[in-house]
Structure 1
Amino acid sequence: MSEDAELRRLRWRCRRGMRELDQLMLRYLDGRWPQASEAERADFLRLLDTEDDKLWRWFMGRERPGDDLLAHLVQRIIDLPH
């Protein structure tokens, strides 16, 4: 798959149905994905497989992911410049 096609597919997967989650995911995709390591990219893909309500609780700080790698990625996304 070409890189452009992959980015289009990922951009579609970042659409979560909640504007705030869309913005967080797209901020990562646009600002961090290009230089992310393969391991971090794999973590982001796992994050995209997470249910929206769980993502919302994680990003709002109401819960913490049980997986330390995902917890680190959630914090990294929160810390990205707006």
Structure 2
Amino acid sequence: MNNEEEVLLKKLRWRCRRGMRELDQLFGRYLDRRWAQAPADEREVFLQLLDSEDDKLWRWSMGYEACPDAQQAQLIAYIRALPA
């Protein structure tokens, strides 16, 4: 990983801190296990998720409400399925 990628990852890790332990763990797990090899379109969907409001992210991630965007819903399902 080059310096530019390391800086981006640090910035993303900061953006993933949502103040809710469950979301912090889910998004951190994605960064640790998938971000580096994720294709550009998947990365873009993840960045869109990070722009969403925390309460919506929490409801979508916990399965209390369906995410209205199909790509984001698919990525949330993938993130939730990552082993702890």
TM-score w.r.t. length of structure 2:
0.94
Which whole-Å CA distance do the structure 2 matches of 1:14 and 1:43 have between them?
14
Q: Which residue of 2 aligns with 1:21?
A: 23
| Structure 1, unaligned runs of 5 or more | none
| Structure 2, unaligned runs of 5 or more | none
Q: Which residue of 1 aligns with 2:43?
A: 41
Deviations 1:8-65 (A, max 9, x none): 0000000001111100000001011011000000000000011110011001111111
- Determine if the alignment matches structure 1 residue 54 to structure 2 residue 56: yes
Equivalent AA in structure 2 for residue 51 of structure 1: E
Number of residue pairs aligned between Structure 1 and Structure 2 = 82
- Determine if the alignment matches structure 1 residue 12 to structure 2 residue 37: no
TM-score w.r.t. length of structure 1:
0.96
Which whole-Å CA distance do the structure 2 matches of 1:65 and 1:20 have between them?
17
Q: Which runs of 4+ in 1 moved over 2 A?
A: none
Which whole-Å CA distance do the structure 2 matches of 1:8 and 1:34 have between them?
13
Q: How big is the alpha-carbon RMSD for the aligned residues of Structure 1 and Structure 2?
A: 1.0
Which whole-Å CA distance do the structure 1 matches of 2:7 and 2:33 have between them?
18
Secondary structure, counterpart of 1:2 in structure 2: helix
